[in-house]
Chain A
Amino acid sequence: MDIAVFQQYGPALIKGFGYTILCWALGTVFGMMLGLVIALIQRYSPRPVRWIIQIYIEIIRGTPFLVQLFVLYYGGPLVGLRLDALPAGLLGLTIYSSPYFAEIFRSAFRAVPLGQIEAARAIGMAEPTIIRRILLPLGLVSALPALVNFSIILTKETVILSMITVPELMYQVSRMSTETFRYLEANLVLALFFWALVETISRVGRRFEARITKHLIERT
């Protein structure tokens, strides 16, 4: 181990980690929002619309993230979509994660007992109100573990953004490696940072889950 190397590259690594967290957080939030919209459209739309959405889901889920990112970043300008690396990376993460989030929401909505929806219909509640007051609160609760799980997977997908020069942690680690040949040290730092991030997310997620399911657990 060479401490001097870390003194030199430390600030860049920490800054890179900041970008990693930023990309993960925004990618997760936007991807979840898009996924939620997709799941709701899927639930309430006529068949042709559902087919179109299904095709979108199949395409995005069926291709590697790296390929999607290259198409967006290098192919985008051909159709007038000229994005800097960071916005392109965020948009890429959003698109890439949306079908997975959509599927999580779709199955969570299906897990809401039909009887609880029917009870709302039976007193004359309108469908948008049912979505807001019954379907979303109950669906989000049952979706939470899977949402946290996929957002943890997403932390590690952010390293691919280094391929289009987003200055996140992987990008900094690659630079340090090639400039100093300290491959092992650089990648150990990467592993350590990711482990800390994932551990934090899963702890916060579990605590949040315990809080929102407090009233839903049958006690005898």
Chain B
Amino acid sequence: MQASSVEIRKVNKFYGPFHALKDIDLSIPPGKVTCLIGPSGSGKSTLLRCMNFLEEYDSGEVRIDGQLIGYDAPGKRMSGRKLREMRRSIGMVFQQFNLWPHMTAHENVAEGLIRVRGLSKADAMTRAADALAKVGLADKMGNHPSRLSGGQQQRVAIARAIAMEPKLMLFDEPTSALDPELVGEVLNVMKTLASEGMTMVVVTHEMGFAAHVADQVAFLEKGELVDVDTPSGILHHPKDARIQSFLRTYHERNSF
């Protein structure tokens, strides 16, 4: 599998006067899993969304395999066609799944193959079926999203992304909207993907996933990248007081 790298340099993002991302520098190595953690409102989702330009950053650079995304040159917007071209090889999974409710699971996965990759309907349906089998949903292909559990919907969403054969996968809190007992099935699919050498960037509150699957963990707070380190460096030996306090609250909330 080809895997992309992401280079983020001095990225800033403003919402009006609100400074959402402050001079972010981060390297995402190819074939590795990077988890973005931090309190809500810290900018981790915004940073993730800058990586496929669903969110426009105001200054700095986000490069996918060396190619600047969203801009041809600083301040000069890239054409829609070029941006779409780049997005084809970047998969994204959302907190709210965002499946298209008027299509079956099978059609949801095939849609991009037909409309974006230009595959024939027959080829697209075959490839979509393979992708759904991979996430363990071969028997649910004909169901509409309304007839699937949250965990199943999220796995369809992952199948929709991987069917496009991306070189980079972005996950925006993929398990936050799920009932606790459905989290595992989604994380397992993600683990398989990681073991195949996919470059993955995951915004998550699942510290267990970060600890066991991530190769590096980045901690953000108030739009600043506080620290990037190995999972154990961040989660077991945090140097910064802000990370220590975040983890303390996390442990308190999760202990009983």
Q: Are B101 and A215 in contact (CB under 8 A)?
A: yes
- The residue of chain B having its C-beta at the shortest distance from the C-beta of A141 within the complex is B102
A79 at the interface (CB under 8 A from B): no
Q: Mark A18-54, 1 if CB is under 8 A from B, else 0.
A: 0000000000000000000000000000000000000
B52 at the interface (CB under 8 A from A): yes
A196 to B87, CA, bound (A): 54
Number of A-B contacts (CB under 8 A): 76
Q: Are A119 and B87 in contact (CB under 8 A)?
A: no
Contact status of A126 and B80, CB under 8 A, knowing A118-B54, A133-B111, A218-B146 = yes
Q: Mark B146-169, 1 if CB is under 8 A from A, else 0.
A: 110000000001001100100000
Q: Are B54 and A122 in contact (CB under 8 A)?
A: yes
A65-97 CB contacts (< 8 Å) to partner B: none
B98 CB contacts on chain A under 8 angstroms? 113, 115-116, 118-119
A5 to B87, CA, bound (A): 73
| Least distance between B166 CB and chain A CB atoms (Å) | 9
A65 to B87, CA, bound (A): 49
Q: Are B94 and A124 in contact (CB under 8 A)?
A: no
Interface size class of chain B, counting residues whose CB lies under 8 Å from the partner chain:
20 to 34
B63-113 CB contacts (< 8 Å) to partner A: 80, 84-88, 90-92, 94, 96, 98-102, 111-112
Q: Are B80 and A125 in contact (CB under 8 A)?
A: no
A4 at the interface (CB under 8 A from B): no
- The residue of chain A having its C-beta at the shortest distance from the C-beta of B88 within the complex is A124
A123 to B111, CA, bound (A): 10
Q: Are A215 and B102 in contact (CB under 8 A)?
A: yes
Contact status of A116 and B100, CB under 8 A, knowing A121-B54, A125-B112, A125-B115 = yes
| Least distance between B82 CB and chain A CB atoms (Å) | 11
Q: Which of A121, A215, A219 contacts B87 (CB 8 A)?
A: A121
Total interface residues in chain A, CB < 8 Å: 24
- The residue of chain A having its C-beta at the shortest distance from the C-beta of B147 within the complex is A219
| Least distance between B180 CB and chain A CB atoms (Å) | 18
Q: Are B88 and A123 in contact (CB under 8 A)?
A: yes
Q: Are B102 and A122 in contact (CB under 8 A)?
A: no
B127 at the interface (CB under 8 A from A): no
B84 CB contacts on chain A under 8 angstroms? 124-126
Q: Are B146 and A122 in contact (CB under 8 A)?
A: no
A115 CB contacts on chain B under 8 angstroms? 94, 96, 98
B205 at the interface (CB under 8 A from A): no
A119 to B156, CA, bound (A): 13
| Least distance between A175 CB and chain B CB atoms (Å) | 49
| Least distance between B226 CB and chain A CB atoms (Å) | 28
Q: Are A215 and B116 in contact (CB under 8 A)?
A: no
- The residue of chain A having its C-beta at the shortest distance from the C-beta of B95 within the complex is A115
Q: Are B54 and A124 in contact (CB under 8 A)?
A: no
B144 at the interface (CB under 8 A from A): yes
B99 CB contacts on chain A under 8 angstroms? 116, 119
| Least distance between B201 CB and chain A CB atoms (Å) | 13
Q: Mark B104-139, 1 if CB is under 8 A from A, else 0.
A: 000000011001100000000000000000000000
